[in-house]
Chain A
Amino acid sequence: MKIMVAIKRVVDYAVKIRVKSDKSGVETQNVKMSMNPFCEIALEEALRIKEAGMASEVVAVTMGLKQCVDTLRTGLAMGADRGIHVETSGPLYPLSVAKLLRALVEVEKPGLLILGKQAIDDDCNQTGQMVAGLLNWPQGTFASKVVLDKEKQIVTVDREVDGGLETLCLDMPAVITTDLRLNQPRYATLPNIMKAKSKAIKKFTPEDLNVEIKSDIEEVQVTEPPKRKAGVILSSVDELIDKLKNEAHVI
């Protein structure tokens, strides 16, 4: 069985985000880009399943600009067997990504498609669900535990819900989206980085896959959150009470 994992290149989550002065988006020039953390978790899970002898191959897939290949290389250095890059130039919204993924699933025929539950740049949290819908596959979203039964061709997924855990049993093929606690991703070691150099990356265009990239969404503007006001240090309890009464009007 093959596992396909979708990975996205995003602004590194430790980067202090700056909004472009014309409010057209977030500054990405000269900014550290990395693999979306939830995608890292998705890939780690796929690798563990493979290492447990329950999958034969892990295929990492990414979509977007030319530079996304760097992220794919990271995925290969972590242990993915090969990569697929669908090269696009403009913005990509979840529905387009889901359609591209469906097309790739039809090419590759994986038994599992694993994605991060969301990407930390747009936080859409839609792609996994949409692609499951398009494929008409069962979905286990926000997985915090994944157990595969190869013989029965089912996968059991624990998901975190408010106040507890929900356990789902899915028939394969299935879509899984990963939550934070599922696993701790591995580092890219030098021997694996070396091996990754010779792994294949296949390129597609949306046209190759017969997917038209369009969107019903227009991004109007991006603005920064309001700046927090500096606090004040008061010298006495009386002053505090006075402020709470007369300025904040809470007592």
Chain B
Amino acid sequence: MERLRLRATGSFFRYCSNRSLFDRRLNINSVNSIHNSTSGYAHGFGKNCRDFHFFSDNHKWNVQTCFGFVRYQGETFRDSTEKGLLEKTRRFQYRGFGSLAAKVQRNPSFSTLNSDDISYFKEILGEKGVIEDEEWLATANTDWMHKYKGSSKLLLQPRSTEEVSQILKYCNSRCLAVVPQGGNTGLVGGSVPVFDEVIVNMSLMNNIISFDKVSGILVCEGGCILENLITFLDNQGFIMPLDLGAKGSCQIGGNVSTNAGGLRLVRYGSLHGNVLGLEVVLADGNVIDMLGTLRKDNTGYDLKHLFIGSEGSLGIVSKVSILTPPKLFSVNVAFLACSDYFSCQKLLMEAKRKLGEILSAFEFLDSKSLDLVLNHLDGVRNPLPPTLHKFYILIETTGSDEPYDRQKLEGFLLHAMEAGLISDGALAQDINQASSFWRIREGIPEALMKAGAVYKYDLSLPVEKMYDLVEEMRTRLSDSANVVGYGHLGDGNLHLNISTAQYDDGILTQIEPFVYEWTSKHRGSISAEHGLGLMKANEIFYSKPTATVSLMASIKKMLDPKGILNPYKVLPHSLSS
């Protein structure tokens, strides 16, 4: 009994030495709290799900210890509050967006809301499901980066597929534009209205419908928060096949609609493989039941794939059936340094070959990304002695046999070190160390937000070319910006981020269209995993030929003839009105 109760000491220790987690609990209601999530590690171990309790008698002492500990590390615990960060970014971002907004015109064929509409919605959803509260709407109108801001006056919260259907049927008949919204963590301006679209917020559709322990197939509603699903599955001995830094807020419906990739794609593959079925509501309110729970089903066109990654432009995802892998308890994480990009590539090739079935993540960051994290996030330290290395790699293995896995990983790393592929490295000895390695990789977006204005590009490129773009961009921008590169090297996915003191159209014209042209020239994709949203709707041609895009437009026209679902997003504006 004592053993259990007093485990509290352990958790306090963890929260102390990993400020981010502690912080996250403190800011539990903050819209931005998600970026503190150390998903990478929790996915493997399922530990973040553990409740944070204050245990009676030790309460005061422990809290003091936490604060004291952090201060002892030379950090000032409270001076960089979330709020300060939000305000700073808000100021920057609006300016940046100004020029973009000016390019989009409200589609005049959409109606505007009237009081009859509101009464109708109240009839079908009840008072509670119809939200006109200004503060609430202000949050729902603004995206995670505070870069895109709409002016919707109405947010609806359906509780069932039937209600979603009624909403869409009505909106379609009235020609009211709609934006489906999940956790609102999207990074391309897709989840917020551009003008006055009605927001259909899915968060009340958060029920788990069934879980089959034999097959590992989970069926749930679209509004389930990813982290809640992870916790649920953890108790069953399973994990979600995807994990991302936003898991504390993003919803499975949003993940499916953006075809989110994340940190373990290298192991479990994309949602096109893991999603077994969907139930979606079309623009006219028709409910399409494709909610299969079969791994194999070749009866006709596999239409669910159309909705995976359609960013809410073809239908609202109301239910999801997904294949979940069993949770394996042996997880190891290494943080490595490489002196050049070529070594990173070779290491990836070797890791795929030598770590084989246990490799579960292969992430990379350059030294400028590490500097950002060390400078802007409290409580993060460099796991390695502070010699200058150009690149850092995070490798995670997940398997079922701890001594075997560990030996395999150690052997691989020591060999790579002897071969000169890695110049230094550290191997996590416990879960806290593993989570602090992940914190570095996952903390980059947050650190970038704190550093000032940021231009984000999420690109798929051939791995060998990937870093050339970062270097070319650095040369182009010279001292005017801090150009950082990081991402899912294992998937050929570069996150190119350009950090500047403030938004500046002069800098933007140096970046775009250059970055898109470069990507196109190297046959890459201008959107690897974030989607096109509003940000890149007009840039689709860089990655897709005209004939393909016009087929997409015909599909859109067929499924949503009036174009009410998430207008101005995904497809180029020239084709969508």
Contact = CB atoms under 8 A, between A and B. Distances in A.
Contacts of A74: 429
Given A14-B435, A120-B9, A187 B65 contact: no
Contact of A17 (B2, B4, B422): B4
A107 interface: no
A15 B331 CA distance: 12
Given A32-B329, A35-B429, A193-B427, A15 B45 contact: yes
A12 B4 contact: no
Nearest to A37: B13
B4 A19 contact: yes
Interface string A215-251: 0000001111100100000000000000000000000
B10 A37 contact: yes
A194 B45 contact: no
Most chain B beta-carbon neighbours within 10 Å: one of A19, A74, A193: A193
B11 interface: yes
A16 interface: yes
B431 A15 contact: yes
Interface stretch (B68-76, B215-223, B256-264): B68-76
Contacts of A35: 429-430
A122 interface: yes
B422 A188 contact: no
A25 to B, nearest CB: 8
A187 B2 contact: no
Contacts of B6: 120, 123
Interface string A106-122: 00000000000010111
B1 A222 contact: yes
A184 B73 contact: yes
Interface in B397-415: 402-403, 410, 413-414
Interface string A168-212: 000000000000110010011111011000000000000000000
B433 interface: yes
A77 B428 CA distance: 11
Interface string B1-43: 1111111011101101100000000000000000000000000
A14 B429 contact: no
Interface stretch (B47-55, B94-102, B455-463, B504-512): B47-55
Q: Interface majority SS on A: helix, strand, loop or mixed?
A: loop
Contacts of B403: 70
A190 B13 contact: no
Contacts of B17: 184
Contacts of B430: 12-14, 32, 34-35, 37
A231 to B, nearest CB: 12
Contact of B11 (A13, A122, A193): A13
A89 interface: no
B469 interface: no
A123 B58 CA distance: 13
Contacts of B414: 190, 193-194
Contacts of B277: none
B399 to A, nearest CB: 12
A181 B10 contact: no
A15 B51 CA distance: 12
A193 B385 CA distance: 15
Contact of B4 (A14, A31, A194, A224): A224
Interface residues of A, number: 39
A187 B429 CA distance: 8
B502 interface: no
**Looking at chain B, what size class is its interface with the partner chain?**
35 or more
B427 A188 contact: yes
Contacts of B9: 13, 118, 120, 123
A58 B90 CA distance: 53
Interface string B66-107: 001100110000000000000000000000000000000000
Interface in A79-134: 118, 120-123
Contacts of B7: 13, 17, 120
Contacts of B381: 184
Nearest to A123: B6
Contacts of A32: 45, 329-331, 402, 430-431
Interface string A28-46: 0011101101000000000
A189 B50 contact: no
A180 B73 CA distance: 12
A6 to B, nearest CB: 17
B292 interface: no
Contacts of B529: none
Contact of A122 (B3, B46, B402): B3
Nearest to B436: A187
A120 B8 CA distance: 9
A129 B454 CA distance: 55
Interface in B450-495: none
Contacts of A154: none
Given A34-B430, A70-B403, A123-B9, A189 B385 contact: yes
B48 to A, nearest CB: 9
A213 interface: no
B182 interface: no
A13 B432 contact: yes
Interface in B128-145: none
B245 interface: no
Nearest to A189: B426
18 contacts: A13-B9, A13-B10, A13-B432, A14-B14, A14-B50, A14-B431, A31-B329, A32-B402, A32-B431, A37-B13, A37-B432, A184-B17, A187-B383, A187-B429, A188-B426, A190-B413, A190-B422, A222-B3
Interface of B: 1-7, 9-11, 13-14, 16-17, 45-47, 49-51, 65, 68-69, 72-73, 234, 329-331, 336, 381, 383-385, 402-403, 410, 413-414, 417, 422, 424-433, 435
Given A26-B4, A122-B3, 19 more contacts: A13-B432, A16-B49, A16-B234, A19-B4, A26-B3, A70-B403, A120-B7, A120-B10, A180-B65, A181-B68, A189-B425, A190-B336, A190-B413, A190-B427, A193-B427, A194-B417, A223-B4, A224-B4, A225-B4
